[in-house]
């Protein structure tokens, strides 16, 4: 009797399992669907994050030019007793650099606190430099500094100009009446929605811009960028520790 009961119970269990399989009541497909849904949601979230990262309007410095966001290393040299470039160079410390070039026919000395590899030719480039020259009264003059937005944009020079640039601007400097001035500056600025506004200005003359300095398109910025890239990277001589 006991044996028969066991057989009957086993038969009932087997029948129940068969019915479950036949009625597709095992929830494995549902679990798979939930997993696929989670993966899809995760993919959408990752896509949103990626779009946010690449959106110019979400960048920390979207509304600032690079020269406003990178800390500036002060170039502090006492030139009160200097009469020429050599005397300035003699005051430089190890790892500082200097470059001599002509801007509009005037000999100028550029001094930088540090350099980096500017190209495959071994040029030591810089992003910031103090500019000195001998003025019309035959005195050594410190005209202030020129500064780019980072190592991707080294200082360059061609003809009458020194170029300093960043991802969103280009400045073209020259000497005028014994002063270092911005001959032309073109820039762009993004608002919080990613809309861009273009600007153009000069410290020497009127430019084709409205009262706020705005221009209709990026043509001036593109032209100045092209001009800057065709200029030569300014090569600096580095002061060695033995000097």
pLDDT in tens, 200-233: 999 999 999 999 999 999 999 999 999 999 999 9
- pLDDT of the residue at 184: 98
Q: Which domain holds residue 222?
A: 66-238
Residue 155 lies in a domain: yes
Residue 23 lies in a domain: no
pLDDT in tens, 156-205: 999 999 999 999 999 999 999 999 999 999 999 999 999 999 999 999 99
Angle at the Cα of 154 (from 84 to 162), degrees rounded to 5?
50
Residue 139 lies in a domain: yes
Q: Pick the closest to residue 160 from 203, 105, 206 (CA basis).
A: 105
d(CA 153, CA 148): 6
Residue 181 lies in a domain: yes
Tally of structural domains, the chain: 1
- pLDDT of the residue at 242: 66
Is residue 107 within 8 A of residue 115, CB to CB? The reply is no
Judge whether residue 8 has pLDDT over 60: no
Residue 43 lies in a domain: no
Residue 61 lies in a domain: no
- pLDDT of the residue at 191: 95
pLDDT in tens, 42-95: 444 444 434 433 444 334 344 444 444 444 566 889 999 999 999 999 999 999
pLDDT in tens, 109-130: 999 999 999 999 999 999 999 9
Residue 151 three-state SS: coil
The contacts of residue 183 (CB under 8 Å, 6+ apart) are 160, 161, 172, 173, 174, 176, 202, 203, 204
Token pair belonging to 69? 């966001």
- pLDDT of the residue at 13: 45
The contacts of residue 215 (CB under 8 Å, 6+ apart) are 198, 199, 200, 208, 209
- Please, what is the average pLDDT of the chain? 80
Q: Pick the closest to residue 111 from 101, 125, 122, 96 (CA basis).
A: 96
Residue 3 lies in a domain: no
Is residue 143 within 8 A of residue 132, CB to CB? The reply is yes
Residue 162 lies in a domain: yes
* More confident call, 31 vs 112: 112
């Amino acid at each position: 009797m006991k044996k028969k009961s066991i057989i009957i119970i086993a038969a009932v269990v087997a029948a129940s399992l068969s019915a479950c399989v036949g009625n597709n009541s095992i929830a494995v497909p549902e679990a798979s669907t939930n997993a696929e849904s989670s993966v899809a949601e995760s993919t959408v979230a990752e896509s949103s994050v990626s779009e946010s990262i690449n959106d110019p309007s979400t960048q920390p410095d979207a509304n600032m030019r690079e020269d406003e966001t990178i800390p500036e290393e002060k170039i502090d040299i006492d030139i009160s007793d200097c009469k020429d470039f050599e005397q300035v160079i003699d005051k430089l410390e190890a790892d500082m650099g200097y470059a001599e070039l002509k801007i509009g026919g005037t000999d100028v000395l550029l001094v930088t606190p540090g350099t980096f590899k500017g190209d495959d030719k071994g040029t030591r480039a810089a992003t910031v430099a103090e500019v000195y020259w001998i003025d019309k009264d035959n005195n050594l003059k410190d005209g202030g500094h020129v500064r780019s937005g980072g190592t991707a944009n080294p200082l360059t020079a061609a003809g009458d100009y020194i170029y300093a640039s960043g991802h969103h601007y280009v400045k073209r400097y020259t000497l005028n009446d014994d002063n270092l001035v911005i001959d032309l500056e073109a820039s762009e600025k993004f608002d919080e929605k990613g809309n861009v506004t273009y600007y153009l200005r000069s410290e020497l003359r009127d430019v084709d811009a409205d009262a706020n300095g705005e221009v209709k398109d990026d043509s001036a910025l593109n032209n100045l960028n092209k001009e800057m890239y065709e200029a030569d990277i300014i090569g600096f001589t580095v002061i060695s520790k033995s000097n």
